[in-house]
Amino acid sequence: MSLVVYNTLSNKKEKFVPIEEGKVKLYLCGPTVYNYLHIGNFRGPITFNLMRNWMEKIGYEVTFVYNYTDVDDKIIQRANEEGVESKVISERYIDAFEEDFRRLGLKPHDYNPKVTDFIDNIISFVAELVEKEKAYVVDGEVFYEINKFEDYGKLSKNKLDDLNAGQRVEVDQKKRNPLDFVLWKPAKKGEPYWDSPWGKGRPGWHIECSAMIKSILGESIDIHGGGIDLIFPHHECEIAQGEGCSDKNYCNYWIHNNFINMDGEKMSKSLGNVTLARDFMDMYHPEILKYMFLSAHYRSVLSISDEKIIQTASSLSRIYNAILVAKETITMVEGDLVEDNGFSKKLEELSAKITRALNDDFNTAEFIASIFEAVRAFNALGFANKKKRNINHKGQSQTFIKWISQYSQMASLFNEEPRQMINALDEMMIKLKRIDLNIVNDLLAQRSKAREDKNWTKADDIRDELAAMNIEILDGHARGWRVKIQ
């Protein structure tokens, strides 16, 4: 099956055919760096990281560009509030983003351009639009003339007449059309500025991506990504600029990820439910964030709640426990594989299932489900009793580790040291469930003593007492127990 992607431009799935055979030019809109990023800002980087890695796995050579908007009204406002230059603010939060990015263990992008490094390219781009009479200058300000681009609205499915009819705010009288947008704006007092043919100023927001794409990837690209909030006006304006300048198709496939909700409500500053990515990773773990995002299709709204986090932690614990058991078995059992018992064939079937899922518009939910199915199949082979693990278990463990490793690299998941990860997840679950670990350890010690004394009734009573505390005894688990989900 060939790769199929959902194209926002056509509102349907399409077979992916790159401009140049075997190569993919991918651009993802990056952050405006005036603050720490919240978890919603990372849905794109996490999702498109997998997309890029999957395309490379199936044979494409991908060039991935992810930009930083480092000159913007919000950056300038924060700089003025702190009494520093805008560059101090932008560099601080670029560093912060890159720290968060490294904690997530994502593969670096090929390019991370900053707007301020491409000012000359932006000025040249705007000048070309003015020369082609697609843009006009009024008092040192340059506007793109919407009426000169007949296809405006083709991405968002908005019609110019409807957009004009919907205007409810006072219109800038310098504009020929209320929908004309700024390409270059004159600098105000105290703002950063650059010299241009139209005077001292700085770029508008929309022009930066078009100019960086043209400079790095060329006039036409294969895939442009971003959140659905960028479809209009940002990406719509990008198309107008790009195609207005080159007279070529700007981008063949537009891919947009959906929002996330916190406890059933859209995450927003007005609701006070914004969670910073670094705070989330401190409180839980980077693996939790990645697993949650990839367990849902990127085009669906993802709802995050305490219950969802607990379920995610439980799922990760089961996966990491299987990895730990496999690695321990490989080390403790000598010899080579005698009989596979059909396990390799099962994993081959799951690989085919994963290929179908990811080639079908990057269906990561099915991908995660297949990983979990492989873990269940592995556990069913009989690893619970260490004393009974044999040469077949070693071969099956080697097969399992080799199989899951290829997907671990591709998804940037399951790469942590397993015992440390299991312990971290258990500690997290203990806190979320408000379990007193001292009591648990005391009961476990009492149960162990009862079993030594062959007092099975007391051992069973203690097991029931632990179960009432949401502690499940599991002889095959790394710690011998886990916090269970109700």
Nearest by Cα to 317 from 291, 351, 346 = 291
pLDDT at 485: 61
Give one DSSP letter per residue of 28-39, joined into a string: E---B-SSPPBG
User: How far apart are the C-alpha atoms of 281 and 39, rounded to whole Å?
Assistant: 9
The answer to the question of residue 99 being in a domain is: yes
Query: Are residues 458 and 414 located together in one domain of the fold?
Result: no
Query: Are residues 337 and 434 located together in one domain of the fold?
Result: no
pLDDT at 247: 95
User: How far apart are the C-alpha atoms of 139 and 179, rounded to whole Å?
Assistant: 18
Residue pLDDT, tens place only, 28-82:
999 999 999 999 999 999 999 999 999 999 999 999 999 999 999 999 999 999 9
The answer to the question of residue 276 being in a domain is: no
pLDDT at 1: 63
Q: What is the mean pLDDT of residues 381-398?
A: 85
Q: Which pLDDT band holds residue 318 (cuts at 50, 70, 90)?
A: very high
Per-residue tokens: 62: 């991908």
pLDDT above 90 (res 475) = no
Phi, psi of 146 (to 5 degrees): -55, -35
Residue 300 near residue 258 (C-beta atoms within 8 A)? yes
Nearest by Cα to 146 from 231, 211, 240, 209 = 240
**Amino acid code (one letter) for 210:** S
User: How far apart are the C-alpha atoms of 320 and 384, rounded to whole Å?
Assistant: 15
DSSP 247: S
pLDDT above 90 (res 181) = yes
Per-residue tokens: 273: 């439910």
SS3 state at 472? strand
The answer to the question of residue 25 being in a domain is: yes
Q: Can you say whether residue 187 is alpha, beta or left, with left for phi > 0 and alpha for psi between -120 and 50 degrees? A: beta
Query: Are residues 198 and 53 located together in one domain of the fold?
Result: yes
Binning the chain into helix, strand and coil, the percentages to the nearest 5 are: 50, 15, 35
Please identify, among 257, 286, 317, the residue that sits at the C-terminal boundary of a domain: 257
Q: What is the mean pLDDT of residues 23-30?
A: 98
CA distances from 94 to 32, 100, 215, 222 (A): 9, 10, 21, 27
pTM tops 0.75, yes or no: yes
DSSP 284: S
User: How far apart are the C-alpha atoms of 479 and 467, rounded to whole Å?
Assistant: 16
Q: For 128, what's the count of Cα atoms within 13 Å in the CB-facing half-sphere? A: 17
Query: Are residues 232 and 329 located together in one domain of the fold?
Result: no
The answer to the question of residue 444 being in a domain is: yes
Q: Which pLDDT band holds residue 166 (cuts at 50, 70, 90)?
A: very low
Least trusted range by pLDDT, from 171-175, 282-286, 328-332: 171-175
Please identify, among 423, 440, 471, the residue that sits at the C-terminal boundary of a domain: 423
Which is higher by pLDDT, 384 or 130?
130
Q: What range defines the domain where residue 475 resides?
A: 430-483
Convert 176-192 to b/e letters by CB count within 10 Å (16 or more is b): ebebbbbbbbbbeeebb
Number of separate domains in the chain: 3
Among 149-158, 267-276, 336-345, the range of highest mean pLDDT: 149-158
Per-residue tokens: 221: 């690209």
The answer to the question of residue 91 being in a domain is: yes
Query: Are residues 396 and 479 located together in one domain of the fold?
Result: no
Q: Which pLDDT band holds residue 315 (cuts at 50, 70, 90)?
A: very high
Query: Are residues 335 and 203 located together in one domain of the fold?
Result: no
User: How far apart are the C-alpha atoms of 131 and 124, rounded to whole Å?
Assistant: 10
User: How far apart are the C-alpha atoms of 267 and 132, rounded to whole Å?
Assistant: 42
Q: What is the chain's mean pLDDT, rounded? A: 92
User: How far apart are the C-alpha atoms of 141 and 129, rounded to whole Å?
Assistant: 13
pLDDT at 168: 46
Among 217-231, 307-321, 461-475, the range of highest mean pLDDT: 217-231
SS3 state at 133? coil
CATH number at residue 228: 3.40.50.620
Convert 449-465 to b/e letters by CB count within 10 Å (16 or more is b): ebeeeeeeeebeebbee
Q: Is the dihedral of CA 91, 96, 102, 106 positive or negative?
A: negative
pLDDT at 312: 95
The answer to the question of residue 448 being in a domain is: yes
Q: What is the mean pLDDT of residues 366-392?
A: 90
Helix 286-294 with 86-104: angle, nearest 10 deg: 80
Query: Are residues 358 and 229 located together in one domain of the fold?
Result: no
Residue pLDDT, tens place only, 402-440:
999 999 999 999 999 999 999 899 888 888 888 888 898
Q: Is the peptide bond before 233 cis (omega within 30 degrees of 0)?
A: yes
- In this prediction, what percent of the chain has a pLDDT beyond 70? 95
Residue pLDDT, tens place only, 228-262:
999 999 999 999 999 999 999 999 999 999 999 98
pLDDT at 440: 87
SS3 state at 355? helix
Per-residue tokens: 242: 């790009």
Query: Are residues 125 and 224 located together in one domain of the fold?
Result: yes
The answer to the question of residue 273 being in a domain is: no
The answer to the question of residue 437 being in a domain is: yes
Residue 54 near residue 1 (C-beta atoms within 8 A)? no
Residue 114 near residue 68 (C-beta atoms within 8 A)? yes
Tally of CB atoms within 10 A around 328? 17
Query: Are residues 11 and 158 located together in one domain of the fold?
Result: yes
Q: Can you say whether residue 272 is alpha, beta or left, with left for phi > 0 and alpha for psi between -120 and 50 degrees? A: left
User: How far apart are the C-alpha atoms of 223 and 254, rounded to whole Å?
Assistant: 6
Q: What is the mean pLDDT of residues 202-217?
A: 97
User: How far apart are the C-alpha atoms of 271 and 259, rounded to whole Å?
Assistant: 15
pLDDT at 209: 97
User: How far apart are the C-alpha atoms of 71 and 32, rounded to whole Å?
Assistant: 8
Q: Which pLDDT band holds residue 480 (cuts at 50, 70, 90)?
A: confident
Give the pairing of strands 61-66 and 135-138. Answer: unpaired
Residue pLDDT, tens place only, 219-230:
999 999 999 999
Give the pairing of strands 23-28 and 221-227. Answer: parallel
pLDDT above 50 (res 399) = yes
